[in-house]
Chains A and B, each alone.
Chain A
Amino acid sequence: MHVEAHDLVKTYPPGVRALDGLSITIEPGEVFGLLGPNGAGKSTTVKILTTLARADSGTASVAGHDLARHPDRVRRAIGVVAQNSGADPLATARDNLLLQGRLYGVRGRDLRTRVGELLDRFDLAGAADRPVKGFSGGMRRRLDVALGLVHRPVVLFLDEPTNGLDPEARSAMWAEISRLAGSEGLTILLTTHYLEEADRLTDRLAIVDEGKVLVTGTADALKGSLRGDAVHVELSGDLDEALVRQAIGAVVRDVTVDGRVLSARADDGAAAVPGVLAALDRAGSPAAAVTVARPSLDDVYLRHVGRRFAEGVAR
Protein backbone atom coordinates (compact mmCIF):
# COMPACT_ATOMS: atom_id res chain seq x y z
CA MET A 1 0.00 0.00 0.00
CA HIS A 2 1.32 3.46 -0.81
CA VAL A 3 -0.95 5.33 1.51
CA GLU A 4 -2.60 3.82 4.53
CA ALA A 5 -4.45 6.00 6.99
CA HIS A 6 -6.34 4.55 9.86
CA ASP A 7 -8.82 6.35 12.06
CA LEU A 8 -7.31 9.83 11.80
CA VAL A 9 -8.71 12.41 14.19
CA LYS A 10 -7.79 16.07 14.17
CA THR A 11 -9.34 18.83 16.23
CA TYR A 12 -8.49 22.49 15.84
CA PRO A 13 -9.06 24.89 18.69
CA PRO A 14 -11.70 25.80 19.75
CA GLY A 15 -12.98 22.26 19.38
CA VAL A 16 -13.58 22.15 15.63
CA ARG A 17 -13.37 18.52 14.61
CA ALA A 18 -11.79 18.58 11.16
CA LEU A 19 -11.23 14.82 10.97
CA ASP A 20 -13.39 12.37 12.81
CA GLY A 21 -11.92 8.93 12.27
CA LEU A 22 -10.93 9.10 8.60
CA SER A 23 -9.44 5.98 7.02
CA ILE A 24 -8.22 5.44 3.46
CA THR A 25 -6.02 2.98 1.62
CA ILE A 26 -4.34 3.73 -1.70
CA GLU A 27 -2.59 1.18 -3.82
CA PRO A 28 0.61 1.79 -5.81
CA GLY A 29 0.00 3.47 -9.14
CA GLU A 30 -3.54 4.43 -8.28
CA VAL A 31 -5.17 7.83 -8.70
CA PHE A 32 -7.30 8.21 -5.62
CA GLY A 33 -9.75 11.05 -5.12
CA LEU A 34 -11.07 12.63 -1.97
CA LEU A 35 -14.36 14.25 -2.93
CA GLY A 36 -16.28 16.54 -0.67
CA PRO A 37 -17.35 20.12 -0.08
CA ASN A 38 -15.11 22.75 1.51
CA GLY A 39 -14.61 22.01 5.16
CA ALA A 40 -15.14 18.27 4.74
CA GLY A 41 -11.60 17.52 5.91
CA LYS A 42 -9.83 16.96 2.59
CA SER A 43 -7.10 19.55 3.06
CA THR A 44 -6.56 18.50 6.66
CA THR A 45 -6.05 14.93 5.46
CA VAL A 46 -3.47 16.13 2.96
CA LYS A 47 -1.70 18.25 5.58
CA ILE A 48 -1.43 15.27 7.91
CA LEU A 49 -0.30 12.81 5.24
CA THR A 50 2.33 15.26 4.00
CA THR A 51 3.78 15.72 7.54
CA LEU A 52 2.73 19.36 7.82
CA ALA A 53 0.19 18.80 10.57
CA ARG A 54 0.01 16.04 13.12
CA ALA A 55 -3.10 13.98 13.81
CA ASP A 56 -4.42 13.93 17.37
CA SER A 57 -4.86 10.18 17.07
CA GLY A 58 -4.82 7.46 14.44
CA THR A 59 -1.96 6.00 12.43
CA ALA A 60 -0.80 6.46 8.88
CA SER A 61 1.98 5.41 6.58
CA VAL A 62 2.99 6.87 3.24
CA ALA A 63 5.22 5.09 0.72
CA GLY A 64 5.86 2.46 3.35
CA HIS A 65 7.12 4.84 6.04
CA ASP A 66 5.32 5.49 9.27
CA LEU A 67 4.32 9.15 9.50
CA ALA A 68 4.90 9.55 13.21
CA ARG A 69 8.22 7.71 13.35
CA HIS A 70 9.90 8.68 10.08
CA PRO A 71 8.45 11.96 8.83
CA ASP A 72 11.71 12.71 7.04
CA ARG A 73 11.58 9.53 4.98
CA VAL A 74 8.00 10.35 4.07
CA ARG A 75 9.04 13.85 2.98
CA ARG A 76 11.67 12.43 0.65
CA ALA A 77 9.15 10.10 -0.98
CA ILE A 78 6.31 12.53 -1.60
CA GLY A 79 5.59 15.46 -3.84
CA VAL A 80 3.17 18.05 -2.52
CA VAL A 81 1.08 20.44 -4.57
CA ALA A 82 -0.85 22.39 -1.97
CA GLN A 83 -3.66 24.83 -2.69
CA ASN A 84 -1.12 27.65 -2.44
CA SER A 85 2.11 26.10 -3.52
CA GLY A 86 4.04 29.24 -2.89
CA ALA A 87 6.30 29.58 -5.87
CA ASP A 88 8.50 32.58 -5.17
CA PRO A 89 6.90 35.37 -7.25
CA LEU A 90 10.15 37.32 -7.63
CA ALA A 91 12.11 34.32 -8.87
CA THR A 92 11.83 32.81 -12.34
CA ALA A 93 10.10 29.50 -12.99
CA ARG A 94 13.49 27.88 -13.59
CA ASP A 95 14.96 29.24 -10.35
CA ASN A 96 11.96 28.01 -8.40
CA LEU A 97 12.39 24.54 -9.84
CA LEU A 98 16.16 24.52 -9.29
CA LEU A 99 15.76 25.51 -5.65
CA GLN A 100 13.09 22.87 -5.07
CA GLY A 101 15.37 20.20 -6.52
CA ARG A 102 18.31 21.35 -4.42
CA LEU A 103 16.25 21.16 -1.25
CA TYR A 104 15.68 17.49 -2.03
CA GLY A 105 19.35 16.95 -2.77
CA VAL A 106 19.05 16.70 -6.56
CA ARG A 107 22.17 18.28 -8.03
CA GLY A 108 24.33 19.08 -10.99
CA ARG A 109 23.50 17.90 -14.47
CA ASP A 110 20.78 15.61 -13.22
CA LEU A 111 18.96 18.61 -11.75
CA ARG A 112 19.33 20.79 -14.84
CA THR A 113 18.10 18.03 -17.13
CA ARG A 114 15.14 17.30 -14.90
CA VAL A 115 14.17 20.97 -14.67
CA GLY A 116 14.42 21.39 -18.46
CA GLU A 117 12.30 18.28 -18.94
CA LEU A 118 9.59 19.56 -16.58
CA LEU A 119 9.55 23.03 -18.15
CA ASP A 120 8.96 21.40 -21.56
CA ARG A 121 6.40 19.00 -20.30
CA PHE A 122 4.35 21.65 -18.53
CA ASP A 123 4.59 24.01 -21.46
CA LEU A 124 6.57 26.59 -19.53
CA ALA A 125 9.79 26.51 -21.54
CA GLY A 126 9.00 29.84 -23.21
CA ALA A 127 8.44 31.58 -19.87
CA ALA A 128 11.12 29.70 -17.94
CA ASP A 129 13.30 32.72 -17.29
CA ARG A 130 10.57 35.20 -16.45
CA PRO A 131 9.59 36.03 -12.85
CA VAL A 132 6.60 34.03 -11.72
CA LYS A 133 4.62 37.10 -10.66
CA GLY A 134 3.73 37.76 -14.31
CA PHE A 135 2.30 34.25 -14.85
CA SER A 136 -1.36 33.50 -15.53
CA GLY A 137 -3.30 31.31 -13.10
CA GLY A 138 -2.95 28.28 -15.35
CA MET A 139 0.81 28.73 -15.82
CA ARG A 140 1.29 29.15 -12.09
CA ARG A 141 -0.66 26.00 -11.35
CA ARG A 142 1.36 24.04 -13.90
CA LEU A 143 4.52 25.31 -12.25
CA ASP A 144 3.14 24.21 -8.87
CA VAL A 145 2.68 20.67 -10.17
CA ALA A 146 6.14 20.71 -11.74
CA LEU A 147 7.57 21.80 -8.37
CA GLY A 148 5.98 18.76 -6.79
CA LEU A 149 7.67 16.46 -9.31
CA VAL A 150 11.28 17.69 -9.47
CA HIS A 151 12.64 15.00 -7.17
CA ARG A 152 10.66 12.15 -8.78
CA PRO A 153 8.37 11.37 -5.87
CA VAL A 154 6.64 8.03 -5.36
CA VAL A 155 3.39 9.55 -4.14
CA LEU A 156 2.04 12.88 -5.36
CA PHE A 157 -0.49 14.90 -3.38
CA LEU A 158 -2.63 17.30 -5.38
CA ASP A 159 -4.81 19.49 -3.19
CA GLU A 160 -7.58 21.02 -5.36
CA PRO A 161 -5.34 21.14 -8.44
CA THR A 162 -7.82 22.99 -10.65
CA ASN A 163 -9.47 25.26 -8.11
CA GLY A 164 -9.83 28.77 -9.50
CA LEU A 165 -8.74 27.86 -13.05
CA ASP A 166 -10.75 28.88 -16.09
CA PRO A 167 -12.34 26.02 -18.07
CA GLU A 168 -9.58 25.94 -20.65
CA ALA A 169 -6.78 25.80 -18.10
CA ARG A 170 -8.77 23.21 -16.19
CA SER A 171 -9.05 20.80 -19.08
CA ALA A 172 -5.35 21.27 -19.84
CA MET A 173 -4.59 20.37 -16.23
CA TRP A 174 -6.83 17.32 -16.44
CA ALA A 175 -4.97 16.11 -19.48
CA GLU A 176 -1.69 16.60 -17.63
CA ILE A 177 -2.83 14.69 -14.55
CA SER A 178 -4.08 11.81 -16.69
CA ARG A 179 -0.69 11.66 -18.37
CA LEU A 180 1.08 11.71 -15.02
CA ALA A 181 -0.98 8.83 -13.79
CA GLY A 182 -0.03 6.78 -16.81
CA SER A 183 3.71 7.43 -16.66
CA GLU A 184 6.28 7.04 -13.89
CA GLY A 185 4.03 4.65 -11.94
CA LEU A 186 3.09 7.56 -9.77
CA THR A 187 0.54 7.13 -7.00
CA ILE A 188 -1.67 10.21 -6.78
CA LEU A 189 -3.93 11.42 -4.01
CA LEU A 190 -6.11 14.19 -5.36
CA THR A 191 -8.69 16.25 -3.52
CA THR A 192 -11.44 18.03 -5.34
CA HIS A 193 -14.84 19.54 -4.93
CA TYR A 194 -15.62 19.08 -8.60
CA LEU A 195 -17.66 15.96 -9.27
CA GLU A 196 -16.61 15.90 -12.89
CA GLU A 197 -12.98 16.01 -11.92
CA ALA A 198 -13.32 13.06 -9.57
CA ASP A 199 -15.31 11.21 -12.21
CA ARG A 200 -12.78 11.73 -14.98
CA LEU A 201 -9.47 11.45 -13.21
CA THR A 202 -9.69 8.99 -10.38
CA ASP A 203 -9.39 5.22 -10.35
CA ARG A 204 -11.12 5.13 -6.99
CA LEU A 205 -12.59 7.81 -4.83
CA ALA A 206 -13.86 8.39 -1.35
CA ILE A 207 -16.73 10.73 -0.56
CA VAL A 208 -15.78 12.69 2.54
CA ASP A 209 -18.14 14.64 4.74
CA GLU A 210 -17.61 16.08 8.20
CA GLY A 211 -14.22 14.46 8.59
CA LYS A 212 -15.29 10.94 7.72
CA VAL A 213 -15.25 8.72 4.65
CA LEU A 214 -18.84 7.88 3.79
CA VAL A 215 -18.19 5.55 0.89
CA THR A 216 -15.25 4.37 -1.22
CA GLY A 217 -15.14 2.78 -4.64
CA THR A 218 -14.62 3.36 -8.34
CA ALA A 219 -16.86 6.03 -9.83
CA ASP A 220 -18.56 3.37 -11.98
CA ALA A 221 -19.13 0.98 -9.12
CA LEU A 222 -20.56 3.75 -6.97
CA LYS A 223 -22.91 4.81 -9.75
CA GLY A 224 -23.80 1.18 -10.50
CA SER A 225 -24.69 0.58 -6.88
CA LEU A 226 -27.58 2.96 -7.25
CA ARG A 227 -29.34 0.49 -9.61
CA GLY A 228 -31.38 2.40 -12.09
CA ASP A 229 -31.92 5.81 -13.62
CA ALA A 230 -32.30 9.01 -11.66
CA VAL A 231 -35.55 10.89 -12.01
CA HIS A 232 -35.44 14.51 -10.82
CA VAL A 233 -38.61 16.52 -10.60
CA GLU A 234 -38.75 20.21 -9.85
CA LEU A 235 -42.11 21.20 -8.41
CA SER A 236 -43.85 24.46 -9.21
CA GLY A 237 -44.83 25.23 -5.64
CA ASP A 238 -44.17 24.23 -2.08
CA LEU A 239 -44.89 20.64 -1.37
CA ASP A 240 -46.32 18.52 1.37
CA GLU A 241 -43.51 16.02 1.65
CA ALA A 242 -45.48 13.18 3.23
CA LEU A 243 -48.24 13.49 0.65
CA VAL A 244 -45.82 13.55 -2.28
CA ARG A 245 -43.87 10.58 -1.00
CA GLN A 246 -47.03 8.61 -0.64
CA ALA A 247 -48.25 9.61 -4.10
CA ILE A 248 -45.17 8.54 -6.08
CA GLY A 249 -43.92 5.77 -3.80
CA ALA A 250 -45.68 3.20 -5.90
CA VAL A 251 -44.05 4.30 -9.19
CA VAL A 252 -40.39 4.97 -8.20
CA ARG A 253 -38.07 4.13 -5.25
CA ASP A 254 -35.40 5.84 -3.08
CA VAL A 255 -37.31 9.11 -2.95
CA THR A 256 -35.37 12.04 -1.49
CA VAL A 257 -36.74 15.54 -1.15
CA ASP A 258 -34.45 18.53 -1.17
CA GLY A 259 -36.29 21.85 -1.18
CA ARG A 260 -38.56 21.86 -4.20
CA VAL A 261 -36.58 19.16 -5.96
CA LEU A 262 -37.38 15.54 -5.49
CA SER A 263 -35.15 12.78 -6.71
CA ALA A 264 -35.93 9.13 -7.08
CA ARG A 265 -34.74 6.04 -8.89
CA ALA A 266 -36.42 3.76 -11.40
CA ASP A 267 -35.17 0.84 -13.48
CA ASP A 268 -36.44 2.53 -16.61
CA GLY A 269 -36.59 6.25 -15.95
CA ALA A 270 -38.38 7.29 -19.13
CA ALA A 271 -41.16 4.77 -18.63
CA ALA A 272 -41.71 5.96 -15.06
CA VAL A 273 -42.17 9.65 -15.91
CA PRO A 274 -45.88 9.62 -16.92
CA GLY A 275 -46.80 7.75 -13.75
CA VAL A 276 -44.85 10.23 -11.60
CA LEU A 277 -46.43 13.26 -13.24
CA ALA A 278 -49.92 11.86 -12.86
CA ALA A 279 -49.31 11.02 -9.22
CA LEU A 280 -48.01 14.52 -8.47
CA ASP A 281 -51.01 16.13 -10.14
CA ARG A 282 -53.31 14.03 -8.01
CA ALA A 283 -51.37 15.08 -4.89
CA GLY A 284 -51.84 18.74 -5.80
CA SER A 285 -48.11 19.42 -6.47
CA PRO A 286 -47.74 19.69 -10.24
CA ALA A 287 -44.26 19.39 -11.72
CA ALA A 288 -42.45 22.33 -13.34
CA ALA A 289 -39.62 20.33 -14.90
CA VAL A 290 -38.56 16.72 -15.14
CA THR A 291 -35.19 15.22 -16.02
CA VAL A 292 -34.17 11.62 -16.37
CA ALA A 293 -30.50 10.72 -16.25
CA ARG A 294 -28.17 7.81 -16.00
CA PRO A 295 -26.85 7.80 -12.43
CA SER A 296 -24.21 10.47 -11.85
CA LEU A 297 -21.71 10.95 -9.08
CA ASP A 298 -23.98 13.68 -7.79
CA ASP A 299 -26.65 11.02 -7.25
CA VAL A 300 -24.13 8.90 -5.38
CA TYR A 301 -23.35 11.92 -3.25
CA LEU A 302 -26.98 12.65 -2.57
CA ARG A 303 -27.59 9.08 -1.59
CA HIS A 304 -24.74 8.95 0.94
CA VAL A 305 -24.65 12.50 2.27
CA GLY A 306 -28.37 13.23 2.12
CA ARG A 307 -28.10 16.50 0.23
CA ARG A 308 -27.11 17.64 -3.23
CA PHE A 309 -23.44 18.27 -3.81
CA ALA A 310 -23.79 21.86 -5.06
CA GLU A 311 -25.46 22.78 -1.80
CA GLY A 312 -22.67 21.26 0.18
CA VAL A 313 -20.23 23.43 -1.72
CA ALA A 314 -22.21 26.54 -1.02
CA ARG A 315 -22.48 25.83 2.68
Chain B
Amino acid sequence: MIRQTWWLTHRQLKALARQPGVLVITLMQPVVWLFLFGNLFRRIVDLPGFGAGSYLDYLVPGIVVMNAVSANMWAGMTTIDEIERGTLDRFLTAPVRRGAIMNANVIVAAASTALQSTIIVLLGWAAGAHYPGGVFGPVALVVLSMVLGTVFTGLSNAFGMAVRQRESVIGLSIFLLLPLTFLSTAFMAESLMPGWMQGVAAANPVNWSLEAARGALAASVDWPMLLGRGGWLLALAAAMVWLSTLTFGGYQRKV
Protein backbone atom coordinates (compact mmCIF):
# COMPACT_ATOMS: atom_id res chain seq x y z
CA MET B 1 0.00 0.00 0.00
CA ILE B 2 2.71 2.48 0.99
CA ARG B 3 4.87 1.52 -1.94
CA GLN B 4 1.97 1.83 -4.38
CA THR B 5 1.01 5.19 -2.90
CA TRP B 6 4.57 6.34 -3.38
CA TRP B 7 4.80 5.29 -7.01
CA LEU B 8 1.44 6.80 -7.90
CA THR B 9 2.46 10.02 -6.14
CA HIS B 10 5.80 9.96 -7.91
CA ARG B 11 3.99 9.75 -11.26
CA GLN B 12 1.92 12.88 -10.59
CA LEU B 13 4.77 14.87 -9.08
CA LYS B 14 6.85 14.11 -12.14
CA ALA B 15 4.03 15.35 -14.35
CA LEU B 16 3.82 18.53 -12.27
CA ALA B 17 7.55 19.04 -12.46
CA ARG B 18 7.27 18.82 -16.23
CA GLN B 19 4.91 21.78 -16.30
CA PRO B 20 5.87 24.10 -13.46
CA GLY B 21 4.05 26.84 -15.35
CA VAL B 22 0.71 25.44 -14.21
CA LEU B 23 1.50 26.14 -10.57
CA VAL B 24 2.69 29.64 -11.36
CA ILE B 25 -0.38 30.48 -13.45
CA THR B 26 -2.77 29.27 -10.75
CA LEU B 27 -0.90 31.54 -8.33
CA MET B 28 -1.57 34.66 -10.37
CA GLN B 29 -5.11 35.00 -9.11
CA PRO B 30 -4.40 34.91 -5.35
CA VAL B 31 -1.46 37.24 -5.82
CA VAL B 32 -3.68 39.75 -7.57
CA TRP B 33 -6.23 39.45 -4.75
CA LEU B 34 -3.54 39.92 -2.16
CA PHE B 35 -2.43 43.23 -3.60
CA LEU B 36 -5.83 44.37 -4.82
CA PHE B 37 -7.72 43.67 -1.60
CA GLY B 38 -4.72 44.71 0.45
CA ASN B 39 -4.90 48.17 -1.05
CA LEU B 40 -8.64 48.46 -1.55
CA PHE B 41 -9.59 47.57 2.00
CA ARG B 42 -6.55 49.08 3.72
CA ARG B 43 -8.67 51.45 5.80
CA ILE B 44 -10.97 48.68 7.08
CA VAL B 45 -8.76 48.22 10.12
CA ASP B 46 -9.77 51.70 11.25
CA LEU B 47 -13.31 50.43 11.86
CA PRO B 48 -13.93 50.30 15.60
CA GLY B 49 -13.68 46.73 16.83
CA PHE B 50 -11.79 45.26 13.83
CA GLY B 51 -8.95 44.40 16.12
CA ALA B 52 -5.97 44.11 13.72
CA GLY B 53 -3.22 46.64 13.24
CA SER B 54 -2.58 46.16 9.52
CA TYR B 55 -5.05 44.85 6.98
CA LEU B 56 -2.29 43.10 5.06
CA ASP B 57 -1.43 41.10 8.19
CA TYR B 58 -5.08 40.18 8.43
CA LEU B 59 -5.46 39.38 4.74
CA VAL B 60 -2.56 36.94 4.20
CA PRO B 61 -4.24 33.95 5.89
CA GLY B 62 -7.47 34.82 4.07
CA ILE B 63 -5.78 34.67 0.67
CA VAL B 64 -3.83 31.51 1.54
CA VAL B 65 -7.06 29.78 2.52
CA MET B 66 -9.01 31.06 -0.47
CA ASN B 67 -6.28 29.78 -2.78
CA ALA B 68 -6.32 26.39 -1.04
CA VAL B 69 -10.06 26.11 -1.67
CA SER B 70 -10.04 27.27 -5.26
CA ALA B 71 -6.98 25.25 -6.34
CA ASN B 72 -8.19 22.00 -4.80
CA MET B 73 -11.73 22.33 -6.12
CA TRP B 74 -10.33 21.37 -9.53
CA ALA B 75 -9.22 17.91 -8.39
CA GLY B 76 -12.40 16.44 -9.83
CA MET B 77 -11.37 17.61 -13.31
CA THR B 78 -8.18 15.57 -13.15
CA THR B 79 -10.21 12.59 -12.01
CA ILE B 80 -12.54 12.94 -15.00
CA ASP B 81 -9.54 13.24 -17.35
CA GLU B 82 -8.11 10.05 -15.92
CA ILE B 83 -11.40 8.23 -16.29
CA GLU B 84 -11.82 9.31 -19.90
CA ARG B 85 -8.25 8.50 -20.78
CA GLY B 86 -8.64 5.01 -19.32
CA THR B 87 -5.90 5.52 -16.75
CA LEU B 88 -8.19 4.91 -13.80
CA ASP B 89 -9.50 1.68 -15.34
CA ARG B 90 -5.92 0.56 -15.90
CA PHE B 91 -5.15 1.03 -12.22
CA LEU B 92 -8.39 -0.61 -11.14
CA THR B 93 -7.66 -3.76 -13.15
CA ALA B 94 -4.16 -3.92 -11.67
CA PRO B 95 -3.62 -5.21 -8.13
CA VAL B 96 -3.59 -1.64 -6.79
CA ARG B 97 -5.35 -0.70 -3.57
CA ARG B 98 -8.12 1.86 -4.04
CA GLY B 99 -6.77 3.70 -1.02
CA ALA B 100 -3.36 4.07 -2.67
CA ILE B 101 -4.90 5.75 -5.73
CA MET B 102 -6.76 8.26 -3.58
CA ASN B 103 -3.86 8.82 -1.19
CA ALA B 104 -1.63 9.72 -4.09
CA ASN B 105 -4.14 12.31 -5.27
CA VAL B 106 -4.34 13.76 -1.78
CA ILE B 107 -0.58 13.87 -1.25
CA VAL B 108 0.07 15.56 -4.59
CA ALA B 109 -2.68 18.10 -3.96
CA ALA B 110 -1.34 18.82 -0.48
CA ALA B 111 2.21 19.21 -1.78
CA SER B 112 1.22 21.72 -4.42
CA THR B 113 -0.99 23.58 -1.94
CA ALA B 114 1.95 23.77 0.45
CA LEU B 115 4.15 25.24 -2.25
CA GLN B 116 1.55 27.81 -3.28
CA SER B 117 0.73 28.78 0.31
CA THR B 118 4.40 29.26 1.09
CA ILE B 119 4.81 31.54 -1.90
CA ILE B 120 1.79 33.63 -0.86
CA VAL B 121 3.10 33.91 2.71
CA LEU B 122 6.50 35.02 1.42
CA LEU B 123 5.00 37.52 -1.02
CA GLY B 124 2.85 38.92 1.80
CA TRP B 125 5.96 39.26 3.93
CA ALA B 126 7.80 40.99 1.10
CA ALA B 127 4.88 43.41 0.79
CA GLY B 128 5.12 44.27 4.45
CA ALA B 129 2.92 41.80 6.33
CA HIS B 130 4.07 40.96 9.87
CA TYR B 131 4.06 37.52 11.45
CA PRO B 132 4.55 38.56 15.07
CA GLY B 133 4.80 35.03 16.51
CA GLY B 134 7.82 34.15 14.35
CA VAL B 135 8.09 31.20 11.97
CA PHE B 136 5.60 29.01 13.82
CA GLY B 137 2.54 30.96 12.67
CA PRO B 138 3.27 30.89 8.93
CA VAL B 139 4.23 27.19 9.09
CA ALA B 140 0.96 26.37 10.88
CA LEU B 141 -0.89 28.41 8.27
CA VAL B 142 0.69 26.39 5.45
CA VAL B 143 -0.13 23.10 7.19
CA LEU B 144 -3.71 24.17 7.81
CA SER B 145 -4.10 25.17 4.17
CA MET B 146 -2.95 21.66 3.18
CA VAL B 147 -5.56 20.08 5.45
CA LEU B 148 -8.29 22.40 4.16
CA GLY B 149 -7.17 21.67 0.61
CA THR B 150 -7.54 17.96 1.34
CA VAL B 151 -11.15 18.53 2.37
CA PHE B 152 -11.89 20.04 -1.01
CA THR B 153 -9.74 17.61 -2.99
CA GLY B 154 -11.75 14.80 -1.44
CA LEU B 155 -15.03 16.54 -2.09
CA SER B 156 -14.18 17.43 -5.68
CA ASN B 157 -12.83 13.94 -6.42
CA ALA B 158 -15.92 12.28 -5.01
CA PHE B 159 -18.12 14.66 -6.96
CA GLY B 160 -16.18 14.24 -10.21
CA MET B 161 -16.28 10.47 -9.85
CA ALA B 162 -20.02 10.50 -9.16
CA VAL B 163 -21.18 12.86 -11.91
CA ARG B 164 -18.33 12.45 -14.44
CA GLN B 165 -19.10 15.79 -16.04
CA ARG B 166 -16.64 18.65 -16.23
CA GLU B 167 -19.38 21.28 -16.22
CA SER B 168 -20.71 20.01 -12.91
CA VAL B 169 -17.29 20.16 -11.28
CA ILE B 170 -16.80 23.72 -12.53
CA GLY B 171 -20.29 24.56 -11.32
CA LEU B 172 -19.65 23.16 -7.85
CA SER B 173 -16.42 25.06 -7.62
CA ILE B 174 -17.98 28.38 -8.63
CA PHE B 175 -20.97 27.71 -6.43
CA LEU B 176 -18.93 27.07 -3.31
CA LEU B 177 -15.80 29.22 -3.57
CA LEU B 178 -17.11 32.74 -3.03
CA PRO B 179 -19.81 31.99 -0.43
CA LEU B 180 -17.41 29.85 1.59
CA THR B 181 -14.72 32.52 1.60
CA PHE B 182 -16.97 35.50 2.18
CA LEU B 183 -19.00 33.69 4.84
CA SER B 184 -15.81 33.40 6.84
CA THR B 185 -13.37 35.72 8.52
CA ALA B 186 -11.10 35.73 5.45
CA PHE B 187 -11.64 39.43 4.74
CA MET B 188 -13.72 40.76 7.62
CA ALA B 189 -13.48 40.41 11.38
CA GLU B 190 -16.16 38.24 12.91
CA SER B 191 -17.38 40.92 15.30
CA LEU B 192 -18.28 43.13 12.35
CA MET B 193 -20.34 40.46 10.53
CA PRO B 194 -24.15 40.35 10.77
CA GLY B 195 -25.34 37.88 13.38
CA TRP B 196 -26.65 35.25 10.96
CA MET B 197 -23.34 35.33 9.09
CA GLN B 198 -21.45 34.63 12.28
CA GLY B 199 -23.68 31.59 12.71
CA VAL B 200 -22.91 30.31 9.21
CA ALA B 201 -19.20 31.01 9.65
CA ALA B 202 -19.12 28.89 12.79
CA ALA B 203 -20.08 25.84 10.69
CA ASN B 204 -17.81 26.71 7.76
CA PRO B 205 -14.63 24.62 7.52
CA VAL B 206 -12.94 27.49 5.67
CA ASN B 207 -13.51 29.56 8.78
CA TRP B 208 -12.21 26.81 11.08
CA SER B 209 -8.92 26.89 9.22
CA LEU B 210 -8.80 30.70 9.43
CA GLU B 211 -9.49 30.82 13.14
CA ALA B 212 -6.91 28.11 13.78
CA ALA B 213 -4.40 29.94 11.58
CA ARG B 214 -5.02 33.29 13.28
CA GLY B 215 -4.62 31.55 16.62
CA ALA B 216 -1.23 30.27 15.47
CA LEU B 217 -0.14 33.58 13.92
CA ALA B 218 -0.83 35.63 17.06
CA ALA B 219 2.09 36.98 19.06
CA SER B 220 1.24 34.43 21.74
CA VAL B 221 -0.18 31.25 20.20
CA ASP B 222 -3.83 30.52 21.03
CA TRP B 223 -3.43 26.77 21.50
CA PRO B 224 -7.04 25.84 22.34
CA MET B 225 -8.22 27.62 19.20
CA LEU B 226 -5.49 26.11 17.00
CA LEU B 227 -5.94 22.54 18.23
CA GLY B 228 -9.72 22.68 18.51
CA ARG B 229 -10.47 24.08 15.06
CA GLY B 230 -7.51 22.27 13.52
CA GLY B 231 -8.78 18.97 14.97
CA TRP B 232 -12.23 19.40 13.44
CA LEU B 233 -10.66 20.28 10.12
CA LEU B 234 -8.47 17.18 10.21
CA ALA B 235 -11.46 14.97 11.02
CA LEU B 236 -13.41 16.45 8.13
CA ALA B 237 -10.48 15.94 5.76
CA ALA B 238 -10.22 12.28 6.77
CA ALA B 239 -13.96 11.84 6.26
CA MET B 240 -13.77 13.39 2.78
CA VAL B 241 -10.88 11.15 1.71
CA TRP B 242 -12.78 8.15 2.96
CA LEU B 243 -15.92 9.23 1.09
CA SER B 244 -13.87 9.82 -2.01
CA THR B 245 -12.37 6.30 -1.82
CA LEU B 246 -15.88 4.87 -1.47
CA THR B 247 -16.88 6.40 -4.79
CA PHE B 248 -14.63 3.90 -6.60
CA GLY B 249 -17.24 1.27 -5.77
CA GLY B 250 -20.00 3.43 -7.23
CA TYR B 251 -17.91 4.07 -10.32
CA GLN B 252 -17.26 0.37 -10.86
CA ARG B 253 -20.96 -0.40 -10.68
CA LYS B 254 -21.53 1.99 -13.55
CA VAL B 255 -18.70 1.14 -15.98
Contact = CB atoms under 8 A, between A and B. Distances in A.
B93 A50 contact: yes
A108 to B, nearest CB: 13
A210 to B, nearest CB: 20
Given A84-B84, A85-B90, A47 B255 contact: yes
B101 to A, nearest CB: 10
Interface in B201-225: none
Interface residues of A, number: 31
B85 interface: yes
A147 interface: yes
Contacts of A218: none
B88 A86 contact: yes
Contact of A53 (B7, B15, B252): B252
A75 B91 contact: no
Interface residues of B, number: 28
A78 B93 contact: yes
B86 A82 contact: yes
A84 B85 contact: yes
Nearest to A89: B85
Contact of B92 (A52, A84, A105): A52
Contacts of B90: 80, 82, 85-86, 100, 147
B87 interface: yes
Contacts of A51: 92-93
A103 interface: yes
A99 B253 contact: no
A131 B92 CA distance: 23
Contacts of B84: 84
B94 A86 contact: no
B81 to A, nearest CB: 10
Interface in A119-169: 131, 147
A191 B89 CA distance: 17
Contacts of A89: 85
A83 interface: yes
Interface string A83-113: 1111111110001000110111100000000
* Most chain A CB neighbours (cut-off 10 Å) among B18, B91, B93: B93
B239 interface: no
A103 B94 contact: yes
Contact of A104 (B8, B88, B95): B95
Interface string B95-108: 11000000000000
A52 B255 contact: yes
A103 B7 CA distance: 8
A281 interface: no
A254 interface: no
Contacts of B14: 90-91, 95
A289 B253 CA distance: 50
Contacts of A84: 84-86, 89
Given A75-B93, A86-B88, A90-B19, A54 B7 contact: no
B198 interface: no
Interface string B1-32: 00110011011001100110000000000000
Contacts of B15: 88, 90-91
A102 B91 CA distance: 12
Given A52-B252, A90-B18, A99 B86 contact: no
Contacts of B96: 103
Interface string A16-27: 000000000000
Given A90-B15, A91-B14, A80 B93 contact: yes
Contact of B85 (A53, A86, A95): A86
B46 interface: no
A103 B96 CA distance: 6
B82 interface: yes
In the A-B complex, the 9 residue pairs with the closest CB atoms: A84-B86, A86-B86, A86-B87, A90-B15, A75-B95, A86-B85, A80-B93, A50-B93, A102-B7
Interface of A: 12, 47, 50-54, 72, 75-76, 78, 80, 82-91, 95, 99-100, 102-105, 131, 147
26 contacts: A52-B255, A54-B253, A75-B93, A80-B94, A82-B86, A83-B86, A84-B85, A84-B86, A85-B86, A86-B87, A86-B90, A88-B11, A88-B15, A90-B14, A90-B15, A90-B18, A90-B19, A91-B11, A91-B14, A91-B15, A95-B11, A95-B14, A99-B10, A99-B11, A104-B95, A131-B18
Given A54-B252, A89-B85, A100-B94, 19 more contacts: A52-B92, A52-B252, A54-B253, A72-B95, A80-B89, A83-B86, A84-B89, A85-B90, A86-B85, A86-B88, A86-B90, A88-B11, A88-B15, A88-B87, A90-B19, A91-B14, A99-B11, A102-B4, A103-B8
